[in-house]
Amino acid sequence: MKFTLIQTPSEFDALAGDWNALLAESITDAPFLRHEYLRVWWQTRGGGEWPRAELAVVTASDDGRLTGIAPLFFTENRDGQPALMLLGSIEISDYLDVIARPGDLPAFIDGLLDFLAQPGLGLWRRAEPRSGLIEEPVGALSKPWRALDWYNIPEISPTLPVLKAEAEKRGLAFTEERVYHAPYIPLPGNFEVYLAAIDKKQRHEIRRKMRRLAEYGEPVRWYIVEDGSVLDAEVDALFRLMEQDPAKAAFLTEAMRTQIRATVHAAFRAGWLQLSFLEVGGEKAAANLNFDYDNRIWGYNSGVGHRFMELSPGWVLLGNLLQWANEHMRSEYDFMRGNEAYKYRFGAADRFVVRVKIAQ
């Protein structure tokens, strides 16, 4: 395999088509690994999470065929070490991984660790003219990496045992720890069958809340946004609902609003956005920002209008989305990171994502 270090946004952009084609055949195919998602993430450095960072994507090819991508960047990690981390880390990208076909993965990881260990690899600063948001590296972090620090890898990813074996073969320290719950609901393709499989008390509670709002005295409707011309207005409405939660209001910095808005537009253009609202009397009462990708619904964020809390609009919108997902034969509803109680009340089972660290 031939390995190449990609350090400029223009080189990164040129990979888009081949990147997404490889991802579709990769060991982990998630929206957070799509080129359009990570391009937006890099423009804002994760909504401001990593203001000092250098792009360090590594690609591998064999006879001109792209066989692997390590979507990396260079920064000082939370432990204060110069580290190579996965693009998308840590807070707003629920699932990350390397990108490789199953059959190519062992050779890719083997070659990647050798490539990264080269003396004088040098993640030097290569600035380009600004274009839009943050385009050139901020600061100078041009010193040798001391750790691979990879968050949010699915616990079932085949990357983990391969990475561990290759690290141990080289005498490198390898650690793996669970960092987040990632509950999901497998969907049978029938809403009533789904309801019948969950706890009886919770089943009755979901039905009761959906029925109560349907019989409410004011007009009630829910919808999925399909018109791109109103997308910015709908994102503004999402923000207004989110910021009624103090924790989410603090989360919604200007940089994070820019990140989310750009992600929504990128997902809409690529065809995998599911932004939905519940309205009561013409007023937005709840919103869900999801991704409809790879035959799954990926629940990303949500907001609820506090004026309507007694009507449980968040539960009702989620119930409608689960009914829609069953009717449209989606295989699962992935709540992604977080172990909030409501996810399990809707019948979610646990999965986990891990942090892997390899130190020299």
| Ordered alpha helix ranges (H), 200-312 | 200-214, 231-242, 246-251, 254-270
> What pLDDT, on the 0 to 100 scale, is given for residue 139?
30
Over residues 121-143, the pLDDT tens digits come to: 644 333 343 344 433 333 333 56
> What pLDDT, on the 0 to 100 scale, is given for residue 279?
97
Look at the domain 184-334 and name its fold.
Aminopeptidase (3.40.630)
> What pLDDT, on the 0 to 100 scale, is given for residue 118?
81
Low-confidence ranges of the chain (pLDDT < 70): 119-143
237: Cβ contacts below 8 Å, ≥ 6 apart: 277, 284, 287
> What pLDDT, on the 0 to 100 scale, is given for residue 96?
98
> What pLDDT, on the 0 to 100 scale, is given for residue 121?
61
Task: Please indicate whether the domains covering 2-180+355-359 and 184-334 agree at the CATH topology level.
Answer: yes
Beta-bridge mates of residue 322: none
> What pLDDT, on the 0 to 100 scale, is given for residue 124?
38
> What pLDDT, on the 0 to 100 scale, is given for residue 145?
87
Instruction: From the options 1.20.1330, 3.40.630, 2.40.128, 3.40.50, give the CATH code of 2-180+355-359.
Output: 3.40.630
How big is the CA angle at 313 (ends 310 and 319), to the nearest 5 degrees? Answer: 130
Handedness of CA 103, 104, 109, 111 (dihedral sign): positive
> What pLDDT, on the 0 to 100 scale, is given for residue 143?
67
> What pLDDT, on the 0 to 100 scale, is given for residue 247?
96
Over residues 287-321, the pLDDT tens digits come to: 999 999 999 999 999 999 999 999 999 999 999 99
Per domain, the residue ranges of the chain are 2-180+355-359, 184-334
Q: How far apart are the first and last CA of the chain?
A: 24
